[in-house]
Chains A and B, each alone.
Chain A
Amino acid sequence: MFWSKIWLFLVALGAAAALTVALALPPAAHRERVRDERQRLATACDVVGIELELAARNHVDLIGTFARAAEIVGGLEQVDPGMPLDAEKGKRLRQTAGTLVSQIKVAGADPDAPTPPGLRPNFAWMLDASGRAVARWGLDEDDTGDVLAGRWLVDDALAGYLRDDVWLDKGTLYMVAGAPVVSRGDKGFVGAVLMGWRLDLDVSAQFVQAFKDTDQDAEDRSINIGFFGGGKAITKSSRDVNLDSDILDRYGAVDKPEEMGEDCRRIAPFFAHDGKHEYAVTVARLPGEIASQDGFFALYTPRPAAPSFGAAVGKAKHELGGGFPWALVIVGFVVAFAGGVVLMVLEADRPLRRLQADAVKLAKGDGERMAEDQHHGRFGSIARSVNIQIDKVSRDAKAAKKDLDQLLGPAPEGSLGAVDLLGGVPPSPSLPGMSLPPRPAAPAAPPPSEFRFGDQGAAPARPAAGP
């Protein structure tokens, strides 16, 4: 029984531990997962900020080179800001710009390799010293003569600075760079050049490429990005998720830090819905001109599923490599069950059977005592108790026989003594010194000798009821 109890205790302990883990771990793991999602969003936000800054640096480097191209400088040197534009000169300048743009390659890369998206500008504009558009390539090519001076980047470029900016133009977001064009003679600044890179789906997807969830499990942890400005959604990295209106609604209530660069770390994520799923969203403002038009980008990822047994099983399936180990669980259960049965048979069932057989033997008169040494533990205690009772009854019988012998004298040779006498005629109650109990009436039921013990030995067979 000891080992059975130990086994039961261990199995119960294991089950309790498993139950505790099953109940307590999912919420704890969920909290950890939520923290992890926040950290991932903040990290992704920082990474996107760095990528945008890196892109701006590349753009400024490129526009600086473009502004020094002899064809561009020469073309703008021929433009007099006080005179009407020469359409033919403008056309040639546009073609020159197109040729130069088509030659843009990644430094050190294979010349035959395709230029990655986002490197070549979507437009290049050439301005004279007054800020008037002399030629446009890539966007609004037919429009010339309008004045772009006044825009911060253009004013700075005309004043002699290279810089970047973010513009929202006709519903499209552009990263823009500008540079002054310096005369090779003594004319000073003869104009400025601008280039713009459209932020579209492909470029947006590049920013969050590192955060794409490539696992094939049911849960998608990809982070996507969307750009917003002027109270509208501009572009995003995935068309599958539509959180635009929800994000725009909630953006106004976001508590923004004073420093724009702290947005990723200081703005608490919020949740948005696309009608089917909930997403954790973090936002960061865009700098430059777009900042005055409420420009920002939002990063969002599906919110971790609420803790549940099914989710825990699903997670375990994923962590264990594709399938929940039901076979292991079943084998473990069978082993535990078999161990319990074996211990029960060894420690309870078999000793009980031996005790039962011993008791039947005793009842049949095949023995005078139970074999105590064959029974262990509590069964041995039962056998000892029965033997003690047998010994007591035997001693009482001997004492009674002795008393009768003293009262009636020694029994004649060949008789059973007092017992024999009592078995025939009961002694008279009038005898002095005798007070025997009345002899019980003859029983209606069969004598005890007719009791039979079954092999399994539980209940004695009851006699059949008489008519």
Chain B
Amino acid sequence: MPVLPIRHDSWTTRVAVACALLVTAAAPALAGKVTGELELSAPAGKPPLRGKAYLDRIENPYKAPRDVDPFPYMIVVLEGDAAKMPEPPPQEAWDLVGDRFDRPLIAVVPGSEVLIRNKGRGTPTLMIDGHADLLPHSPLNPRGERGFKAGAAGTLYELRDEDTPHITGGVVVVATPYHAIAMASAKDARKGSFSLSDVPDGTWTLRIWYRTGWLDGVEQTVEVKGSKTTSVSTIKIPAGLPTAASK
């Protein structure tokens, strides 16, 4: 391939570089936003009783207990043309904020580094079930950090503390960076919402990952055009939250 004898200090070069920067900077602005609502077909039910001690737990007599909130465990993912995928982010920070992670489930793309930051007081010894070599087997001190590299898409990393049973979290590897964690509605516990930004134009398939697998019966096709916000019709989550992995 012939190389043009362009002088770097010429004004044409400077203009070309400036145009290129402008085009690059303008590209995300052309990407669209995808929002939507989720609705549970049936109440999620009472939270499971974990670690019963001497007594059965007693319902507070002044106000009915809350149902379990499944939305933090739901990740809405847009899957599409691999050619439109940007470079994977180098790092995904995940904070341990005491006796839990700030998000119980996160999604990363293949090759990302998951950086665990201990912002609590404890010194958990974190480990990943089935991937003992990914994290060093030693306590993570307060303010300490620890990371591991995500593998292939579809992999689920389940982290837990060796010393305490309640510190758990999940990292699911998805093929696309266009994903978001659902948020419960403040007014209605059965409703949630999501918002994805910087989605390139094109046709995407919306899927939802719940805890350990893809939810069945919730896939949708989403058309994204320009910088407009695309609203997805309310997605009905089947009762019982059936996942492919649970079948």
Which A residues are within 8 Å of any B CB, using their own CB?
Answer: 52-53, 56-57, 60, 131, 133, 140, 143, 146-156, 158-166, 179-180, 182, 188-189, 230, 287-289, 291-293
Contact = CB atoms under 8 A, between A and B. Distances in A.
Given A57-B54, A152-B51, A182-B60, 9 more contacts: A56-B54, A148-B98, A149-B99, A150-B100, A150-B167, A161-B59, A163-B57, A289-B166, A293-B164
B60 A152 contact: no
B163 interface: yes
Interface in B42-58: 47, 49-58
Nearest to B100: A150
B63 interface: yes
Given A146-B120, A147-B99, A188 B51 contact: no
A166 B54 CA distance: 9
A358 to B, nearest CB: 95
A57 B55 contact: yes
Contacts of B58: 60, 161-163
A150 B99 contact: yes
A189 B66 contact: yes
A109 B165 CA distance: 40
User: Majority SS of interface residues in chain B?
Assistant: loop
B120 to A, nearest CB: 5
Contacts of A148: 98-99
Contact of A288 (B51, B56, B163): B51
A95 B117 CA distance: 33
B60 A180 contact: yes
A400 to B, nearest CB: 116
8 contacts: A146-B99, A149-B98, A160-B59, A160-B65, A161-B58, A161-B65, A163-B58, A288-B52
A148 B98 CA distance: 6
A161 B60 contact: yes
A119 B68 CA distance: 33
A140 B121 CA distance: 10
A291 B51 contact: yes
B97 to A, nearest CB: 4
Contacts of B53: 56, 163-166, 287-289
Contacts of B167: 150
- Choose among A148, A156, A182, A230 the residue with the greatest number of B CB atoms under 10 Å from its CB: A156
Contacts of B97: 146-147
B83 interface: no
A147 B120 contact: yes
Contacts of B60: 160-162, 179-180, 182
A292 B165 contact: yes
A235 B6 CA distance: 81
B99 to A, nearest CB: 4
B62 interface: yes
Contacts of B99: 146-151, 154
B197 to A, nearest CB: 22
Contacts of A230: 163
B64 interface: yes
A112 to B, nearest CB: 32
Given A147-B120, A150-B99, A160 B66 contact: yes
A53 B57 contact: no
Contacts of B52: 287-288
A179 B62 CA distance: 12
A60 to B, nearest CB: 6
The 4 closest A-B pairs by CB, nearest first: A150-B100, A160-B65, A288-B53, A147-B98
Interface in B114-170: 120-121, 163-167
- Choose among B57, B58, B63, B64 the residue with the greatest number of A CB atoms under 10 Å from its CB: B57
Contacts of A60: 55, 58
Given A159-B47, A163-B58, A165-B53, A149 B66 contact: no
Interface string B80-120: 00000000000000000111110000000000000000001
Given A60-B58, A147-B99, A147-B120, A152 B163 contact: no
Contact of A164 (B55, B66, B101, B166): B55
Contacts of A52: 54
A289 B55 contact: no
Contacts of B65: 159-161, 180
Contacts of B120: 146-147
Contacts of A189: 63, 66
A163 B66 CA distance: 15
A287 B166 contact: no
